[in-house]
Amino acid sequence: MPEVLTRRALNRATLERQSLLERSALPVPEMVERVAGLQAQTPHTWYVGLWSRIRDFDPEAAAGLLEDRTLVRIALMRSTIHLVTARDCLRWRPLVEPVIGRVTRGAFGRHLRDLDLDAVAAAGREILDERPLTFGALGRELASLFPGRDAAALAQVVRARVALVQIPPRGMWGRSGPIAHTSAERWLGAPQEANPSVEDFVTRYLAAFGPATVKDAQAHCGLTRLREVMEPMGLRTFRDEEGRELYDLPDAPRPAEDIPAPVRFLYDFDNVLLSFADRSRMGTLDPELVRRAWPEHGPVPGSVLVDGTVAATWATARERGTTGTTVLTVTPFTALTTRHRDETEAEGARLLRLLAPADTHDVRVTAPW
């Protein structure tokens, strides 16, 4: 019988691979590849994801990697914007194009009937390679070429069928700009990989998030039928406490489940919380608590890992009526121990030095939800 891995053992394996047990000295591009990209639909919060994983992290230097095109922000896994290296962009975008197409048809299908999608995509690529535009501006230009069609749907056809990167200054540290796009090929000066390997893609997923089930891998990327990919790969297999089959790389790290885990602040869309069908390894939350802590509308708070699992939310704000004071508010789900409260306050103070270096700081741990 395969070895059974407890939920806590899965937690520690994932934290180790995500550099959340101990910050790493890896350069930013290597870290971005190690964690298989960072979800980055918000222009700046992903910087916290790198800060939580890299010692002596310099956000200005990381922003420079967007300008020199070492890193790009592009729609990839789950049809969401991710921060990846240029080479992963060119490898992975062809693999997930069917997912992005499926999402686009689901949202805009009624506007796409009897429309020559190839012609729309070709026209959109030509326009954006001439000058980067927002989707609003692109849609208006396309609507003049395809009269009577919905402008937003036309722009989304281009997004689905052309690899589009968001170009700086969008996403730069301390500043931003319009959500302007051009093609990855134009921006990077290289073609997409012609025959990308799904097996290599799965290997990278397991290296960053394993051990994992087939459903976990599919939830991460949106692809389907990955069991027939994973079964012949010679992967090591385990079972979780519910009897589900887990796959992993034979030599991947699986630390002891009793290894200590430090307090870590995760940003709003951190993949360590999103890249599993079963997210219980990172802490099972009551549905009512989820509804209150993460409302459907408004800003999404970050999460705080205490002893490796989600134990609180966090958010920052400039305090009203004061000059230059930024407050970080941590709201735990249950009362923290004195040690964990002290660790949370210390890590929160370090986070404020990243987010508001010129301000005075105040870390407040509230009563539980």
pLDDT for position 284: 65
Average pLDDT, integer, range 257-268: 97
Arithmetic mean of pLDDT, 290-316: 90
pLDDT digits (tens, 9 = 90+) for 33-84: 999 999 999 999 999 999 999 999 999 999 999 999 999 999 999 999 999 9
For residue 276, the model assigns a pLDDT of: 96
Taking the C-alpha atoms of residue 258 and residue 277, their distance in angstroms, rounded to an integer, is 24
What is the per-residue DSSP string for 86-155?
HHHHHHHHHHHHHHHHHHHHHHHGGG-TT--HHHHHHHHHHHHHHS-B-HHHHHHHHHHHSTTS-HHHHH
In single-letter form, the type of residue at position 276 comes to F
Q: What are the tens digits of pLDDT across the range 133-176?
A: 999 999 999 999 999 999 999 999 999 999 999 999 999 999 99
pLDDT tens figures, 213-237? 999 999 999 999 999 999 999 999 9
Q: For residues 355 and 56, what is the distance between their CA atoms, to the nearest angstrom?
A: 14
Task: State pLDDT tens for residues 87-104.
Answer: 999 999 999 999 999 999
Model confidence at 285: pLDDT above 80: no
pLDDT digits (tens, 9 = 90+) for 38-48: 999 999 999 99
Residue-wise burial string across 142-177, b where 16 or more C-beta atoms lie within 10 A, e elsewhere = bbeebeebbbbbbbbbbbbbbbbbbbbebbbbeeee
- The owner of tokens 């741990």 is 365
* Maximum pairwise Cα distance, the chain: 65
What angle separates helix 135-145 from helix 117-130, to the nearest 10 degrees? 120
User: What is each CA distance from 245 to 165, 226, 253, 345, in whole angstroms?
Assistant: 36, 13, 18, 39
pLDDT of residue 127: 98
Tell me which H or E stretch contains 202.
Answer: helix 198-209
Q: Is the pLDDT of residue 322 over 80?
A: no
282: left (phi over 0), alpha (psi -120 to 50) or beta: alpha
Per-residue pLDDT of 184-218, as tens digits, reads 999 999 999 999 999 999 999 999 999 999 999 99
Helix axes 198-209, 214-221, angle to 10 degrees: 100
**pLDDT of 238 over the 90 cut:** yes
Lateral strand order in the sheet of 325-332: 264-266, 302-306, 309-318, 325-332, 360-365
Binned at pLDDT 50, 70 and 90, residue 323 comes out as confident
pLDDT at 296: 80
Beta-strand runs (E) in the chain: 4-5, 38-39, 71-75, 81-85, 164-166, 181-183, 236-240, 245-248, 264-266, 302-306, 309-318, 325-332, 360-365
pLDDT of residue 288: 83
Q: 3-class SS at 249?
A: coil
Cβ contacts of 264 within 8 Å, gap of 6 or more? 20, 52, 304, 305, 347
> pLDDT tens-digit profile of 16-29?
999 999 999 999 99
Q: What is the mean pLDDT of residues 353-360?
A: 96
Beta-strand relationship, 38-39 and 302-306: unpaired
Comparing CA positions, the residue from 236, 350, 258, 259 lying closest to residue 304 is 350
Q: What is the pLDDT of residue 319?
A: 85
Average pLDDT, the chain: 96
Count the neighbouring beta carbons within 10 Å of the beta carbon of residue 238.
Answer: 21
In the chain, the percentage of residues whose pLDDT exceeds 90 is: 93
pLDDT at 267: 97
Helix (H) or strand (E) holding 355: helix 338-355
pLDDT > 70: percent of the chain? 99
Give dist(CA 285, CA 336) in Å, integer. Answer: 16
